[in-house]
Amino acid sequence: MNRTSPSFPSSSANADSSSSSAAASSAGSTSYRDDNVSITLNTYRVNDTTVYVADVTLSSAQYLKTAFANDTYGKNVTATTSSIAQANNAILAINGDYYGVQEKGYVIRNGVVYRDTAKGADVLCVYADGSMEVVSDREYTADELVLKGVWQSFSFGPALVENGSVTVGVNTEVGRGMVSNPRTAIGMIDKNHFIFVVSDGRTSESAGLSIYELASFMQSLGVQTAYNLDGGGSSTMVFNGQVINKPTTTGRISERSVSDIVYI
């Protein structure tokens, strides 16, 4: 397997210690800014559902990272999104694709191939140049994707938006999930301009979104590409060390442990 990370454009600060010469966030703030990262949080009400949106602009895709629970790749290794975020000093984090519950599906994280078994499905690729694309794992091996410059890959799905157009139907659903659910998605407006989205659901306050409703909402934000990550009880957004949505697990408000996160 290819273990070489893609090359990145030079930046003015190391990815693990961003310069804070601009106004950075404080507890309770809805924004963060430094020389390399800009994050603005907004809350929407869509189809009787509260939806949390993080608008993220980066100087380089190297600031869009992923992390495993307990810093360990493995099938039965899990932790809450907030605890993984804390362990990695994340400014912003959402749950990932919960790779650990799948036997197949490419896992490329921070430029390293961890699983190269295809499952005959679409893969979201985030490239080192800050672009995002959905490809079929029938077309490329995991190592070939790394050679193409893939920095992160996700294999939950489905793709929601491609080339600015919604790519799912009204009745599209993931497995046997309910039509209305908590959801997590990631999208790209332009190179290094990303949108992280988490919706609540399964409560009297928030009904949850269907896959089509999620896709339509992502499209309304101006994304060119968007992809569905693990939802349901996994759907969690963390900002400045605080869980800002209401994750719902087994009928109560609490985080579900997951395999991985996407974070800034």
> pLDDT at residue 40 above 60?
yes
User: Hey, is 89 helix, strand or coil?
Assistant: coil
pTM score, whole prediction? 0.90
Q: Structural domain boundaries of the chain?
A: 31-99+156-263
> pLDDT at residue 5 above 80?
no
Predicted confidence at residue 18, as pLDDT, reads 42
Q: Supply the mean pLDDT for the chain.
A: 90
Spatial separation of the C-alpha atoms in residues 30 and 39, rounded to whole Å: 8
Spatial separation of the C-alpha atoms in residues 87 and 53, rounded to whole Å: 23
> pLDDT at residue 249 above 80?
no
Q: Where are the alpha helices (DSSP H) in the chain?
A: 81-87, 142-147, 211-220
What are the φ/ψ torsions at residue 86 (nearest 5 degrees)?
-65, -40
Q: Are 36 and 59 in contact (CB under 8 A)?
A: yes
Q: Residue 1's pLDDT band (boundaries 50, 70, 90)?
A: very low
pLDDT tens sequence across 171-223: 887 764 558 899 999 999 999 999 999 999 999 999 999 999 999 999 999 99
Predicted confidence at residue 172, as pLDDT, reads 82
pLDDT tens sequence across 45-82: 999 999 999 999 999 999 999 999 999 999 999 999 99
